Amino acid sequence: MTKLNVLVSGSTGYIGIQLIKLLIKHDNVNIKYLCGSSSVGKNISTYEKLLNSKKLPKIVKYNKSFLNNVDLVFTALPNGEAQTISNDLLKHNVLIDLAADFRLNNASSYLKWYKQKHKSISNIKKSIYSLPEITGNKIKNFNIIGCPGCYPTSVLLPLIPLIKNNLIKVDNIIIDSKSGYSGAGRGVHKKYKDKNLYESLSAYGVGFHRHNSEIQQELDNFTKKKLTFTFTPHLTPMFRGILSTIYVDLNKGINIKRLEKTLNDQYSKKGFVKIFKTNSLISTNDVINTNNCYISICETKYKNRVIILSSIDNLIKGGAGQAIQNMNIRFGFNEMKGLK
């Protein structure tokens, strides 16, 4: 059996912990290094008691010499840091980044939206943005893989097939997304110390959230028309999960059944995306602790307008699970391995 030696950098954040919890169940993975900064010398069980019984290496500071001994590097780091590691990669290394360093196709867009100069511009062209259900086997030709953000995952999975098949108008899409506060990272309590995270709902990044750039880039790939949308994210008083509510207008002659058929045709052989019957009211509770995306299309009082509901677990399908899904495809494993 093929065993990949794996390094996880950024191992103590919410996404890093979730990644480790999934990787230890994967038969083809050997966790060689866990890397951190302020956590150096500690056991990962300091941050997650459920990992106490597992034989895992102590957390160490990243050193590029580690790359000689690993096949795969997962980076769950603050934006910008995976770029530096990408410059150290050897020919046999694959890097899967769970942050935003390789999500955008050019350095100028990265500077505009993330207010940082990209430190590995040459590697942008060597990387691929991979939403697994859409990208498929294309990622086998790349050693640097950028995983989608959590909000974009919930938005792109329902919208791409509909836009690709010219079923909906693309000049006024409205996206209202609500996420558990884990989506803001382990520092969420400091960042939002003046908000009552456990009892209130908060809008943030209104009009200019960074994920706008990612959604725009990927949707533009599937239409020749000028695509405009409004995206508003919210933090909700729950730890994990995303529910995106998407308002779209239908093109002439198109009905809900046509939309559902298109989505079913796209995802019928994809084990993690499930399309529900018209007007099904899905929730985050349906997908928590899974790598699934549930999608439902609902009628409105207007014949030419529908509401799409899309629900994922932001830490799994919107993060660690999707990264492992990409790993499985890249290395020729069963796409669902370690994720059922």
Verify whether residue 293 is a known catalytic residue: no
Single-letter amino acid, residue 265:
D
Q: What percent of the chain has pLDDT over 70?
A: 96
pLDDT at 184 over 90: no
pLDDT at 192 over 80: no
pLDDT at 257: 96
- pLDDT tens, residue by residue, 196-248: 777 889 898 898 899 999 999 999 999 999 999 999 999 999 999 999 999 99
- pLDDT tens, residue by residue, 278-321: 999 999 999 999 999 999 999 999 999 999 999 999 999 999 99
List the alpha helices (DSSP H) in the chain. Answer: 14-23, 81-86, 107-114, 121-124, 132-135, 150-164, 188-191, 211-220, 256-267, 321-330
For helices 150-164 and 256-267, the axis angle rounded to 10 degrees is 110
The catalytically annotated residue of 35, 150, 293, 298 is 150
pLDDT at 170: 97
Mean of pLDDT over the chain: 94
Banded pLDDT at 337 (limits 50, 70, 90) = very high
**Are 319 and 131 spatial neighbours (Cβ–Cβ below 8 Å)?**
no
d(CA 262, CA 320): 28
pLDDT at 199: 80
Report yes or no on whether pTM surpasses 0.85: yes
Banded pLDDT at 265 (limits 50, 70, 90) = very high
pLDDT at 99: 96
Spell out the domains of the chain, with CATH numbers in brackets.
Answer: 4-147+318-330 (3.40.50.720), 151-314 (3.30.360.10)
Banded pLDDT at 183 (limits 50, 70, 90) = confident
**In 10 A of CB 322, how many CB atoms?**
27
pLDDT at 190: 62
**24 burial type by CB count under 10 A (0-12 exposed, 13-18 middle, 19+ buried):** middle
pLDDT at 301: 96
